[in-house]
């Protein structure tokens, strides 16, 4: 199994380890509820080194990125980050990603763990006509996320930089305990927080992780596993590739129209999306709550007017909101807030209602 450079720290901290797409990673430490609520109230520390880092460098780096992504990367300036998507020819998802503009002609694309090889192959194939050098450095880079209201206070003790000057979706390059890093104010939790990327030895990485956990104790910050990462992102309706977004739903159907910039010029997937924008979508990703007892889970059947329509794409008991929530695609006309439908939970059909999203929003 693949290990991150923080792996030893997880064992020292007695994480409950699982095989996550071939990676040996902790699903939880003290418990998903505890960790989830720690991130909402104080902070949590996550190993997210399994994410993929792909660098673009060269005269046509921007043109290449514009061609393979849906958002308008020309709006970026050095130090700024953009949420975007790699789309198929049909306007569906190859993956969602973050685009970091490091400098003119120099960018970093951060992609999902399970997809980093698929994405790299897709990217290199689709950008062959551009003058750009593309490097997959996923295996060299570690990534640690410090998330929650006290994250700035905690991370500040490790850097010689004023973190308060970094705005949301911006980054700096600086040193974290002497290690050259990209420090970005981003995350997958709906809280304030940072994601730090660096190359280091295993010893340095383990020491940093343990030291963050140790210093974090005073503020009730805890090490956090993949379980809470999933429930945290779901409470704020951040899409998960493979669940809520995939290669059979378009970016418009996924309710991510804001990362689709049709006027920026030619890019993969543009033609069918232009058409879909004109004719309108027939289904949409919505958030729902249950009106009866039960917990919706990924894959449970969804019934609209008593006909099986689709399935729950993500579902859980939300640890902060303390109620069962989920996401699914519903037909337009049945997807408005307040609309009701049913979910099959084992041998029962349970009433669900479309609600406003995000389910949770930080104050």
Partner 1 sequence: MSLEGFKFTKDHEWVKSEADITTIGITDYAQKELGDIVYVELPSPGDKIKKGEACSNIESVKAVNDIYTPVTGEITEVNEALEDTPELINQDPYGSGWIFKIKLESHEELDDLMDQEAYNQYLKGISKE
Secondary structure of the chain as H, E, C letters: CECCCCHHHHHHCCCEEEEECCEEEEEECCCHHHHHHHHHHCEEEEECCCCEEEEEECCCHHHHHHHHECCCHHHCCCCEEEEEEEECCCCEEEEEEEEEEEECCEEEEEECHHHHHHHHHHHHHHCCCCCCEEEECCCCCEEEEEECCCHHHHHHCCECCCHHHCCCCEEEEEEECCEEEEEECCCCCCCCEEEEEECCCHHHHHHHHHHHHHHHHHHCEEEECHHHHHHHHHHCCCCCECCCECCCCECCCCCCHHHCCHHHCCCCCHHHHHHHHHHCCCEEEEEEEECCCCCCCCCCEEEECCEEEEEEEEEEEECCCCEEEEEEEEECCCCCCCCEEEEEECCEEEEEEEECCCCCCCC
Count of residues that bind partner 1 according to CB under 8 A: 19
Give the nearer residue to partner 1 in terms of CB position, either 18 or 259.
18
The reply to whether 28 sits near partner 1 by the rule CB under 8 A is yes
Closer of 238 and 262 to partner 1 (Cβ) = 238
Of 178 and 299, the one with the shorter C-beta distance to partner 1 is: 299
Restricting to residues 224-253, which ones interact with partner 1 according to CB under 8 A?
Answer: 227, 230-231
Nearer to partner 1, 23 or 158 (CB): 23
Considering only the stretches 23-31, 42-50, 164-172, 336-344, report the one whose residues sit in contact with partner 1 under the rule CB under 8 A. 23-31
Give 36 or 270: the residue with its C-beta nearer to partner 1: 36
User: What gap in Å lies between CA 200 and CA 72, rounded to an integer?
Assistant: 33
Stretch that binds partner 1, among 98-106, 110-118, 273-281, 312-320 (CB under 8 A): 312-320
Q: Which is nearer to partner 1, 229 or 284 (CB)?
A: 229
Q: How far is the CB of 346 from partner 1 (least distance, A)?
A: 7
Nearer to partner 1, 36 or 185 (CB): 36
Kindly state whether residue 319 participates in binding partner 1, applying the rule CB under 8 A.
Answer: yes
Applying the rule CB under 8 A, the residues between 344 and 363 that interact with partner 1 are 346
Residue 315 in the binding site for partner 1 (CB under 8 A): no
Quick check: 321 binds partner 1 (CB under 8 A)? no
Q: Is 295 in the site for partner 1 (CB under 8 A)?
A: yes
| 297 near partner 1 (CB under 8 A) | yes
Sign (positive/negative) of CA torsion 19, 22, 26, 28?
A: negative
HEC per residue, 122-152 = HHHHHCCCCCCEEEECCCCCEEEEEECCCHH
Q: Specify the stretch interacting with partner 1 by CB under 8 A; choose among 28-36, 66-74, 238-246, 256-264.
A: 28-36
Among 83, 303, 317, 360, binds partner 1 (CB under 8 A): 317
Binding-site string for partner 1 from residue 30 to residue 59, where x marks contact by CB under 8 A and - marks none = -xxxx-x-----------------------
Nearest CA among 53, 60, 92 for reference residue 74: 60
C-beta closer to partner 1: residue 36 or 261: 36
Among 129-137, 254-262, 272-280, 316-324, the segment contacting partner 1 (CB under 8 A): 316-324
Q: Rounded to an integer, what is the distance from CA 50 to the centroid of its chain?
A: 12
* Residue ranges in 171-190 that form contacts with partner 1 under rule CB under 8 A: none
Q: How far is the CB of 316 from partner 1 (least distance, A)?
A: 6
Enumerate residues 62-121 that contact partner 1 by CB under 8 A: none
Binding site for partner 1 (CB under 8 A): 27-28, 31-34, 36, 227, 230-231, 293-295, 297, 316-317, 319, 324, 346
């Amino acid at each position: 199994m693949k290990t991150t450079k923080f792996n030893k720290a997880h064992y020292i901290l007695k994480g409950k380890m699982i095989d996550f797409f071939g990676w040996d990673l902790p699903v939880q430490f003290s418990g998903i509820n505890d960790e989830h609520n720690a991130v909402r109230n104080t902070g949590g520390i996550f190993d997210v080194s399994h994410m993929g880092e792909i660098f673009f460098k060269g005269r046509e780096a921007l043109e290449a990125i514009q061609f393979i992504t849906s958002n308008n990367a020309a709006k970026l300036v050095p130090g700024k980050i953009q949420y975007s998507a790699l789309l198929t020819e049909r306007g569906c998802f190859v993956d969602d990603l973050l685009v970091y503009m490091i400098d003119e002609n120099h960018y970093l694309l951060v992609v999902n763990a399970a997809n980093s090889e698929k994405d790299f192959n897709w990217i290199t194939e689709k950008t062959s006509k551009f003058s750009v050098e593309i490097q997959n450095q996923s295996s060299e880079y570690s990534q640690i996320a410090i998330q929650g209201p006290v994250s700035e206070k905690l991370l500040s003790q490790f850097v010689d930089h004023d973190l308060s000057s970094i705005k949301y979706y911006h980054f700096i390059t600086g040193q974290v305990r002497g290690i050259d890093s990209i420090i970005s104010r981003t995350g997958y939790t709906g809280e304030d927080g940072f994601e730090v990327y660096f190359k280091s030895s295993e010893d340095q990485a383990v020491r940093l992780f343990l030291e963050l956990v140790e210093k974090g104790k005073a503020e009730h910050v805890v090490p956090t596993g993949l379980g809470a990462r999933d429930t945290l992102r779901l409470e704020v309706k951040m899409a998960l590739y493979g669940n809520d977004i995939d290669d059979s739903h378009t970016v418009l159907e996924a309710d991510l129209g804001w990362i689709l910039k049709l006027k920026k010029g030619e890019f993969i997937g543009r033609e069918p999306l232009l058409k879909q924008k004109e004719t309108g979508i027939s289904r949409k990703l919505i958030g729902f709550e249950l009106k009866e007892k039960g917990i919706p889970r990924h894959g449970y059947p969804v019934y609209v007017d008593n006909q099986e329509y689709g399935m729950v794409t993500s579902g859980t008991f939300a640890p902060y909101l303390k109620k069962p929530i989920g996401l699914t695609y519903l037909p337009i006309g049945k997807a408005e807030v307040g609309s009701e439908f049913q979910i099959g939970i084992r041998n029962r059909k349970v009433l669900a209602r479309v609600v406003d999203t995000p389910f949770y929003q930080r104050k």
